[in-house]
Structure 1
Amino acid sequence: MNKTFQKWSRWKSVGLPAILTVAATFIGCQDEGNNPDPGQPSTLAPLHTQGTQWVDNHNQPVVLKGVNLGNWLLQEFWMMGQETDQIGDQCSLEAVLDDRFGFAERERLMDQFRDNWITDRDWDLLDSFGINVVRLPFIWNLIEDEHNPMTLRDDAWQYLDYAIDEAEKRDIYVILDLHGAVGAQGWEHHSGCAGLNEYWDNEEYQARTRWLWQQIATRYRDRSAVAAYGVLNEPWGTTPANLATESIELYDAIRDVDADKVVILPGHSAGIDAYEKPEDIGLTNVALEMHFYPGIFGWGEIGYAVHRDWLKCGVDGNGGICEWDARLQEKNVPFLVGEMQPWTGLGLELGAEITQATYDHYGDLGWASTAWSYKLITNEGGQGSGRWGMVTNKETLGLLAKADTWTADCNAWDSTLANACTTPATEFTPDRSGINDYYFVVKFGASANTGALDVTVDGLSIKNVDTGEELLINGEFGSSTGWTSWAASTLPTLNFAATDPAKLPAGSDGTALHMTGSDVNGGIYQRISLDASATYRLAGTFKRNDSQDTWAEFYLVEAQPVNGIDVLVEGPFAAIDFNTASKETIETLFNAFGDMAYDIHEPLRDAMTADQRSALFDLPDRPLNVALQETADQVTLTWDASATPEKTTGYNVYRSTSLASGYQPIATNLDALVYVDTNVSATQTYYYRVHAMNEQDESFASDVVHTALKTIPVPGLIEAEDMSNMLGIQIETCSDIGGGENVGYMDPDDFLEYSIDVAEAGTYDIAYRVASGGGSSGDQAFQIMVNGTVLDTQSVPDTGDWQNWQTITGTVGLAAGVQTLRIQVLGGSWNLNWLDLTRSVVP
C-alpha cells in the first residue's frame, strides 16, 4: 500500500460522433430556460490563490475550516444505516425504484430523500460548529438530464442553489465537489455506481463531464460564495499520469467560461507527483487536493498516537504534514484536505481535542480542510465513542451494550457492561406502552478471513430498578438452561460452563459462557416480559481475550430471532429491503431523516468554537539511551530522563512480541528511570519502547529495544510482520486466507529483516504472498539478500487491490545456520503477507 492513504448506472449513451460534435459548442447547448438567475451578489469576498495560500480580494490569507455534506446529493448507504447485500450505491437504488415505480416516481422519492436529509435546521447547526466552508458532494445526474445527454434537467439547480443560498446567509463558503461523474471515475460505491469505472476509457463520458462543469461554472462564476470547483472526487480508477491529464482538460473547459474561480485538481491514491508545477504550465488559481485518514483504512490504528505522529511530523520532524507541506511548497500551490475523520472511535472528549488540533495544525500551514462528515445515521443511534457525524440519530432501545476490537478504547476489554467500550449499558425504559414480551439477545461475531472470536461473558442480569426483580434465567451460566441458540450465519461454538481462569472476565463466579469461532455471527437469546412504567438495569461482565475483528453486542428486540436473519436494531432506521419495501415504507424512512431528534457531538462543537487553539500535542522529548538487561526470569529497562522536564510528569512502558505492532502498556506514569518486567518467557522475543508523558500528551517512542531474538526455522513459513528489524514499514489488518496482519506502505530504500535458522544448506523454493493495487512502482519491487549478497529479485504484479492476494515464486541458495534474511525494497506500492521457504526437489 502507498504511504499516502487508502480509503473506502445506468448511463444513457448516445453515439460518440454526436457527442463530439456537440462538445465543440458546449455553451450553446444549455437551455437558457433552465438557467435562471443564480442569486444575489455574494456578501463573501471572492477567493483566489497566492503561492500556497488561499486569499481574499485584499490578498489576505483565509483559512477554510469546514465539513462535507455527505450522503445528501450522492447517497452512500453506510451513512444512513441502509447498506445491504442487495443495494449499496445510488445507481442500484435508482434502478430498483425505476423498475418498481417508474422514473417519475423514482425522481419524486429521491427529492423526498434530499428534502429531508438536509433542512434549514441543519444549516443553523452547521453554523453553530464554527465552520466557514462546506464541501458539497454531488452526482452528475443531479444536473444533467440522464435521458438527454448535454441537456440540463428542468430542476438542475434547485439543490445547489439552495445550498449556496443557505451557506451564504451564514457567511459559509461552498466548494462544489463532483463526487460521481457519468461513467464513474473509480470502482468505489461513492462514485455513485460501485464496480463501474468506465469514465477513463469513454470519450463520451469525458466530454459530458467537461460540458457539465461549463454549465456549473457559467452559473456560479460570479457567485463568490462558491469558493472553488472540485473537478473529480477520488478518481483512482486510472493511473496518476492520466488523472493529471484528464483533470487539466476539465480545468481548461472551465477556464473557457470562468477565468477566475479556484479549480481544485484531485490527487491520486499515489499522491500528487504526476502534476507539474502549475505555474510552469500556465495554470492559474488552482489548488491540489488529498484525503487524509490517520488511523483508518489501514493507516495505523485509531488512537492518539497515529494523530500525534501525523501532526507532529514524526520523530525526525520530516514526516507527516511536514513532508506534505514541503511537496506543496515545491509546487507553490494551495491545498485542500477534502476529507478527514479525526474524531471517530476516540471517545468524545479526546476526539474533540484531536479534531481541534487537526484543524489548528492544518490552518497553520494555510491548508483548507473539510471533515467527513456532518451527518450520519446508524441503526442503533447515539454518538457512542464518536460516530463519523457531527450529528447522528439518538440512541434507540434495541442496542443495550456493545464492544468491538477496532474502536480506540477497545484494545483490551475486560469490563462490566456498564463500562462497555463502544456502547455502555445504562438504565432503560421499554419503548412500547403496557406490559410486553421482548427478546434479550447476546450476539457475538467475527469477520470472515481476519476474525477470531474468543469472548467470555458472565453475570448477565436485567433487574427492575425499583423492585429488584430479576428478569433473566441463568445469567450466571454453568448450563444452557433458559437460553436458546440462534445464528444469523454460522453459530459460534458455545461453552456454557467455561472455567479456564485465564479466560474468565473480572468478577466471574467461576463459570461463564465462552464463544469462539471465525466467520461467525450469532449467539443466544431468551424471552422476557417488561413493563413500560418501570425502569430496568442491564448488568454483566465480559472479556475480549484473544479476539480479533470481533464484536460483542447485547440487544433488546420485539421480534423473536430467526436463524439465517441477523438481529439488528428495530425502529425508524432499521435497514429495509428496497426491492420489496412498500412505497409507504420508503417514504416513512426518508421522512424520518428530517424529523428525527439529533444526538449532537457537543464536545466537538465546543472544541471547534473555542477561543483558544488546542493545547494538545505540546510533546515532551522522548527518552534516550534506553538499555535492556535480560536474565532467565526478568527484563530490566533503564533510560535517560526526558530533556524537557517541564513537560514531563512520568514515563510509560510498552511491550510487544512483534517489532512493528501490537504494543500494549505494561507500566504507566512511572517516576523512576527504571522498570523491571517479571512477566516474561524465555522462549519469546519481547520488544519494548518508553515514552515520556504528562496529563494530556505522550512523547514519541524511544528507540525500540528487545530481548534475544528467537530465530525462525527454515524450511518454513515466515509471517511478514515477524521481522527483527525494519525501516519505513507499517502493519495493517490482512484479509487474506488465515487473516492476521500484513506489512505495507513500502517505499524505495525501506527494508525488512528476519532472523532465520536454516536447517540444511542448499537450494530453496521461496513463495511470496503479495498484493498491489496497480503493481509495484519501478521495474523491480524488492531483492532478497543474505549477508549483503542478492539471492533473488522480484516485481509485484497488479493484483487488483491492496487486499487481493497472489503468490509469486523464486529460488534462493542458503547456507546452513543462523543468518539474517533481508528484503530490500526497490519499488513501492505493494503489500506482503508471508514468504514460505521449502527445500527444492532435486531431479
Structure 2
Amino acid sequence: MICRNRPVTGQRKASFFSGCLGLLLGGMLVAAGNPAEAQKLSPLHAAGTRMLNAAGQEVILRGYNVGGWLLQESYILGTDSLNSQWRIRQGLLRTMPETEMEKFYRQYRQKFITKADIDFLARQGFNCVRLPLHYDLFLTPEQRHARTNVIRDPHNPQKLDAYVQQLSQWYDADQLFTKTQQLDGFRFIDDVVKWCAANNMYVVLDLHAAPGGQGTDRNINDNFRPLDLWKRHDAQDRLIYQDMTVRLWEKLADQYRNESAIAMYDFINEPHNLNAANGLSADNQELNTLYSRLIDAVRARNDQHLLMLEGNGYGNEYTNLTPDKLKVKSTANLVYNAHRYWCPNTAEATDPNPNQINLLTNLAAFRDQWQVPVWVGETGENSNEWFGAAVQGLNARNIGWCHWNIKRVDSGAGLLRVAPYGSLLTPAGRTALLRNVQFANCQINRDVATSLTQPADFRAPFAQLTIPGTIAATDYDLGRDGVAYHDDFSARIDYRDLTPHNHGGAYRNDGVDITACPEMANGFAVQKLAVGEWLTYTVNITKAGPYKAELRVQPGSTPGQLALLLGELPVGTAAVTPGSEWTTVSLTTPALPVGQHTLRLMIEQPVSQLGWLRFAPASGSSSAGGQ
C-alpha cells in the first residue's frame, strides 16, 4: 500500500472493557444474510456483480491486511528514513553478517503475525485476511543471497545486471519457485490458510512486491530501479521480471488450485506511474499485456480461483483493462480492485473518468456497467470518522473491503498498537521489537475496531466513569463525530490537504485533538478546543445531589467558556480567564440523579487544553476521589 503522512500516536492505557471487545463488536462482517458460524468455506466464484460460494450464497469479504509482516514497510516499523525493506536489510548488514540478518528475519516472521492474531481478527467478526507477499520469499537461500549482493551495493549497475542474468539462468533451468516444501513463501501461505480456515475465514494472496517492482515507490515495491517490472530486459531481450511473475503465479496455482479457503489471487499490488512521462504507454498497455498473460497462465493450470486485477495509479485506474479489452481466453471469475485513501465518502463525489474507481459512486457504476464483482483491497490511513463513513458507504452498496493495517508501531490507526522499541539497527532495539510485535504484547485500539464494525449512530463508554470522581478529558465515549464528540476537522478527504485530523496525534484516532501532557495522570490532554466542539461521557452517578465540578484547563489568549449538560439538563457554565498556565475552574451543579447518564462538555468559547473534570458532592460530606 502507499502511505502518505501517517498519524503517529502515543500509547494509551487499556480500559475496563477491552476484554469484552469481541462481544461488543461481533457479528457484522460476514457473508450477506448468513451468520459467520453458519458459513462453510467453499470455493468462491463470480456471478455477475457478486461473489458466490458453492451453495449460491453471496459472500461479502470484509477483513484485514497483515502488512508489514512478509514485506516490511518502513513506516509500519517507525523507520521511515530507511523507506524500503532492502534498505533496512542494508542497514542491518552494516552491523552483522548475512547469516545473522537472515536469522533475525526468521525470528521476526515467526512473531509478527501468528495464529493468535488471526484468532483475534476472527473474534471481531472479520471473515478474510489479505496476505501481502514479497517475491523474495519464494527464492532459495542461494537465490536470496544473490539479491543480497545487490543490496550491499545497489547503485552498482554491474551487480544488478549480474543478478538479472542469474535470474535468467535459473528461470531457463526451471529453478525458480520450484522447491515448494523448502521455500518460506509457501510455508507462510500454508500457515495462514490453516489458521484462517480454522476460523472460517478466507485468504487473499497478494503479490505486494513483484519481481523488479511494479512502480516507483520503494516502500511497497522494494525495487532497486523504478518500474523495472515493466522495463528491465535480460541478455536475451526478455522482460525477465514479467516472465518470473508469470512463473510464480503458475507455481502458486499448481500448489493451491484446490484450496477453497483461498478466496482469490491478487496478481500485482498497486501498479503506479505507468505513464508516458516514465517511457511507458498512456493507456495501460503494459498492464493489459501482463494481466492477460497471468490470467491465461493460471487458467491453463486448471485453477478457477477468483482473479483480482489492480489498476494503474495505486490500484484504481482501468483504462484499457476492462473485460472487453483483455486479450484472454476467458474473462470468467475476474474481480476488480480499488484502494481507498484520503478521498470523500459521499455519493455526490464522482470522478469524470469512469475507469477511475476509488470513489464510491464510480466504484458501484463500474461494477454495474461491466457486471463484475469489485472489492476494496485496501482502505484506511485516516481517522476513525473516515473509517466509519467509508465502510458504511461500502456496506450499503454490498461491496467488500479489507482494512489496512492490523499492526503498527506507536500508532492509533492500526487495529493493534505495537509499543516503541528504539532502533532496529541496535541489538537492544531488535530484541525489543521481537518482543513488542507479539500479539500478547500489543494494545488493542478499540476505537478503530468500533469504527469498522458498528453503525453510524453507535455510542458506548470508552472507560468506566463514575461521579463522584475524576474523568480524564480524553476518555470521551466511543463513536462517530456528531454522536460521541464533535470536532471542526475530523477526517481527511483530500490527499492534498495534509491537515492532521488529530493535532497532537496521541491516545486515540478520532478527530479530537489529543496531545501528550505529563501533568495529567493518564499522560494526555485534549487541546485546541474550538467554539462549537463538544465531548460526551457516559457516567454512572452513584450519589444523588448537587456537585462541585472542577475543570482543569490551560487557557488561551482570549476568554474561554465551557458548559456542561447532563442529558438535556444544563449543569452549569465555567468562565476561563485568558492566560498560559494550567488552572482549575469550577461551578456548582444542580442536584444530579443517580444512574447512568450522558454528560456533555460544550465549548462555548475556546480554550487551549483540557485535562480532566472532577466532581465532588457540593456539601463536602464525601470524598470525590482523584487520579
The one of 164, 183, 190 equivalent to 2:193 is 164
Structure with greater strand share of residues: 1
Query: Which residue identity lines up with residue 441 of structure 2 in the other structure?
Result: A
The alpha carbon displacement at 1:91 in A equals 1.4
Structure 1: which amino acid aligns with 2:230?
W
Partner of residue 79 from structure 1, selected from 76, 79, 88: 76
Q: 5+ residue gaps in structure 1?
A: 9-41, 300-305, 395-571, 617-646, 655-659, 670-694, 696-843
Residue 268 of structure 1 and its aligned partner are, at CA, apart by 1.1
The structure-2 alpha-carbon separation of the partners of 1:102 and 1:50, relative to structure 1 and needing over 3 Å to count, comes to same
1:329 matched to which residue of 2?
A: 368
Aligned to 2:449: 605
Shift of 1:341: 0.7
Which residue does the alignment assign to 2:84? 89
- 2:31 alignment partner in structure 1: none
Tell me, in whole angstroms, the C-alpha distance in 2 between the residues paired with 1:170 and 1:217: 23
Give the superposed CA RMSD: 3.7
Counterpart Cα distance in 1 of 2:177 and 2:326: 36
Q: 1:34-53 to 2 correspondence within 5 Å?
A: 44-53=41-50
Alignment match, 1:116:
111
Q: CA deviation at 1:7?
A: 5.4
2:350–2:362 CA contact under 8 A, matched in 1: no
Q: Secondary structure at the match of 1:234?
A: coil
Residue 380 (structure 2) pairs with residue 341 (structure 1) = yes
Secondary structure, counterpart of 1:311 in structure 2: coil
What is the CA-CA distance between 1:121 and the residue it aligns to? Answer: 2.1
**Residue 141, structure 1, aligned to residue 174, structure 2:** no
Query: Counterpart of 1:329 in 2: which secondary structure?
Result: helix
Q: What is the DSSP-based 3-state SS (H/G/I as helix, E as strand, rest coil) of the residue aligned with 2:421?
A: coil
Equivalent residue number for residue 272 of structure 2: 236
In structure 1, the residue matched to 2:619 is: none
- Asked whether the 8 Å contact 2:129–2:201 carries over to 1, the reply is yes
Give the whole-Å Cα distance in 2 for the aligned partners of 1:366 and 1:144.
39
Q: Which of the pair has more CA radius of gyration? A: 1
Matched, 1:593 2:437: yes
Instruction: Work out whether residues 415 and 448 of structure 2, in 8 Å CA contact, stay in contact via their aligned partners in 1.
Output: yes
For 2:294, which of 250, 270, 277 is the aligned residue? 250
Q: Which residue of 2 aligns with 1:389?
A: 414
Whether 1:131 and 2:99 are equivalent positions in the alignment is no
Counterpart in 1 of 2:210?
Answer: 181
Deviations 1:236-272 (A, max 9, x none): 1424232222122122221121431011111111611
2:58 corresponding residue in structure 1: 61
How many residues are aligned here?
Answer: 383
The one-letter code of the counterpart of 2:114 is T
The correspondence for 1:374, drawn from 371, 382, 406, is 406
Q: Write the distance in 1 (CA, Å) between the matches of 2:324 and 2:296.
A: 13
In structure 2, relative to structure 1, the CA distance for the partners of 1:251 and 1:100 (3 Å cut) is farther
User: In the alignment, what sits opposite 1:614?
Assistant: 456
Distance (Å, rounded) in 1 between the aligned partners of 2:406 and 2:488: 38
1:201 paired to 2:223: no
Which amino acid in 2 is paired with 1:360?
Answer: Q
Q: Is the 8 A contact 1:139 1:178 kept in 2?
A: yes
What letter corresponds to residue 74 of structure 2 in structure 1?
A: F
Structure 2's unaligned 5+ residue stretches are 5-38, 147-169, 233-238, 276-283, 459-481, 490-495, 500-527, 534-566, 568-627
**Are the aligned partners of 2:212 and 2:241 in contact in 1 as well (CA < 8 Å)?**
yes
Which residue in the other structure is 1:758 paired with?
none
Which residue in the other structure is 1:575 paired with? Answer: 423
Aligned amino acid, residue 291 of structure 2:
S
- Superposed CA offset, 1:588-626 (max 9, x none): 43333227632212133345454xx4348xxxxxxxxxx
Residue 315 of structure 1 and its aligned partner are, at CA, apart by 9.9
Which amino acid in structure 1 is aligned with residue 400 of structure 2?
A: A
> Structure 2 vs 1, CA of residues 279 and 45 (structure 1 numbering), >3 Å: closer, same or farther?
farther
**Secondary structure, in 3 states, of the residue corresponding to 1:287?**
strand
Work out whether residues 112 and 591 of structure 1, in 8 Å CA contact, stay in contact via their aligned partners in 2. Answer: no
1:288 matched to 2:283 = no
- Report Cα offsets for 1:646-688 as digits up to 9, x if no partner: x9xxxx999xxxxx999x999869xxxxxxxxxxxxxxxxxxx
Query: How far apart are residue 159 of structure 1 and its match?
Result: 1.0
Q: Distance in 2 between matches of 1:601 and 1:321?
A: 27
1:261 is aligned to 2:305: yes
2:207 aligned counterpart, secondary structure: strand
Confirm or deny that 1:360 pairs with 2:392: yes
Question: How far does residue 279 in structure 1 lie from its aligned partner after superposition?
Answer: 9.2
Q: Secondary structure of 1:136's partner? A: strand
| Match 1:214 to one of 234, 245, 250 | 250
**Are residues 53 and 665 of structure 1, via their aligned partners in 2, closer, same or farther at CA, if it must alter by over 3 Å?**
farther
Take 1:372 and 1:315, find their aligned partners in 2: how far apart are those partners?
23
Q: Are the structure 2 counterparts of residues 212 and 280 from structure 1 closer, same or farther at C-alpha, using a change threshold of 3 Å? A: closer
How far did 1:293 drift?
0.6
Q: Deviations 1:38-61 (Å, cap 9, x if unpaired)?
A: xxxx95121111111111112221
The alpha carbon displacement at 1:283 in A equals: 1.4
Note closer, same or farther for the CA distance 1:603–1:114 as it changes in structure 2 (3 Å cut). same
**Distance in 1 separating the partners of 2:209 and 2:111:** 21
- Alpha-carbon contact 2:203-2:262 (below 8 Å) kept: yes
Amino acid at match of 1:90: Q
Shift of 1:183: 1.0
CA distance in 1, matches of 2:59, 2:364: 17
CA-CA distance at 1:81 after TM superposition: 1.6
Q: Which amino acid aligns with 1:50?
A: A
What's the CA shift for 1:195? 5.0
Give 1:325 deviation, angstroms. Answer: 1.3
Q: Which amino acid aligns with 1:272?
A: Y
* Mapping of residues 740-779 of structure 1, within 5 Å: none
What is the DSSP-based 3-state SS (H/G/I as helix, E as strand, rest coil) of the residue aligned with 2:75?
A: helix
TM-score (structure 2 length as normaliser): 0.55
| Equivalence for 2:320 | 274
- Give the drift of 1:290: 1.7
CA gap of 1:229–1:6, structure 2 versus 1, over 3 A, is closer
